[in-house]
């Protein structure tokens, strides 16, 4: 008889070891942050400034702004959130699919900033001329994906109150939307956060074809294998039955 070892008393923080894409993104951000400390002027050329994109055609900015941060606490909390919520997604999807999703949501956040800066909204003029920096838009996209795949996983709001991931994302989504409409920035680009959430949702739920089908397939496969391990079920028949897809 197989004996199972219970580990209910074992406590852990975070998702465990760091995955390849997360490690790559964190090191890239840390490296650029050190360069920023040595050359603060990098923000002018590589931060996302709508005026520079529309008038000077600095088209690299919607990508490069993701690697710049305003201070130590800014990069610390962004990279901590990326590790906490991104590792499980990368393990589930694979490195290539996760990187694609990360940059799609980052670009979606950038597009939202650019569009918002052209609208007759409160604070739009200021947004048009001031750089937006940070990976927060992509991080919000990662958080949304985490909530879609692990909706009942508790997230501690303000590190005190456990809230299921699906409700946590609804709360922060409503907050960033209202903050964006009201123009209550306070130095934070709420429009970028909102753009990351929307881009992530459209990417995962918008029927984009092959990648979405692959993600769903990998998720079902992972779930079935987890159930098999949990109940000690051994697959019968040919070993490659699961991998032979039927269309």
Give the residue carrying structure tokens 């508790």: 154
Determine the Cα–Cα distance for residues 203 and 210; give it in Å rounded to an integer.
12
Determine the Cα–Cα distance for residues 97 and 236; give it in Å rounded to an integer.
31
Residues 6+ apart with CB under 8 A from 132: 47, 48, 49, 65, 110, 113, 189, 192
**Domain ranges in the chain?**
20-227
Determine the Cα–Cα distance for residues 44 and 99; give it in Å rounded to an integer.
26
Burial state string for 183-222 with b = 16 or more CB within 10 A and e = fewer than 16: eebeebbbbbbbbbbbbbbebbeeeeeebeeebeeeeeee
Which spans in the chain are helix H? Answer: 20-38, 42-46, 50-55, 61-64, 72-93, 95-116, 124-129, 136-149, 165-182, 190-205, 210-231
20-227: CATH superfamily: Rhomboid-like (1.20.1540.10)
> What string of pLDDT tens digits covers the 247 residues of the chain?
334 333 333 344 567 788 999 999 999 999 999 999 999 899 999 999 999 999 999 999 999 999 999 889 889 989 988 998 999 999 999 999 999 999 999 999 999 999 988 888 767 788 899 899 999 999 999 999 999 999 998 887 766 778 888 888 888 878 776 765 665 554 556 788 889 999 999 998 875 444 555 566 667 777 787 777 777 665 554 444 444 443 3
């Amino acid at each position: 008889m197989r004996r199972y070892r219970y580990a209910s008393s074992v406590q852990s923080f975070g998702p465990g070891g760091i995955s390849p894409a997360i490690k790559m993104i964190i090191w890239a951000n840390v490296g650029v942050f050190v360069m920023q400390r040595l050359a603060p002027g990098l923000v002018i050329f590589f931060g996302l400034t709508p005026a520079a994109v529309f008038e000077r055609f600095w088209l690299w900015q919607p990508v490069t702004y993701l690697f710049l941060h305003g201070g130590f606490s800014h990069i610390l909390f962004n990279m901590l959130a990326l590790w906490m919520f991104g590792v499980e997604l990368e393990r589930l999807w694979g490195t290539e699919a996760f990187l694609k999703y990360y940059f799609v949501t980052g670009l979606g956040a950038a597009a939202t900033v650019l569009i918002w800066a052209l609208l007759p909204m409160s604070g739009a003029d200021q947004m048009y001329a001031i750089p937006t920096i940070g990976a927060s838009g992509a991080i919000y996209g990662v958080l949304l994906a985490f909530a879609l795949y692990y909706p009942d996983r508790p997230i501690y709001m303000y590190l005190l109150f456990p809230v299921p991931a699906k409700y946590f994302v609804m709360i922060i989504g409503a907050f960033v939307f209202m903050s964006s409409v009201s123009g209550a920035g306070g130095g934070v680009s709420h429009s970028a956060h909102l753009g990351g959430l929307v881009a992530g949702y459209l990417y995962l739920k918008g029927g984009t074809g092959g990648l979405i089908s692959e993600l769903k397939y990998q998720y079902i496969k992972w779930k079935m294998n987890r159930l098999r391990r949990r109940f000690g079920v051994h697959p019968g028949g040919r070993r490659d039955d699961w991998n032979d897809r039927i269309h």
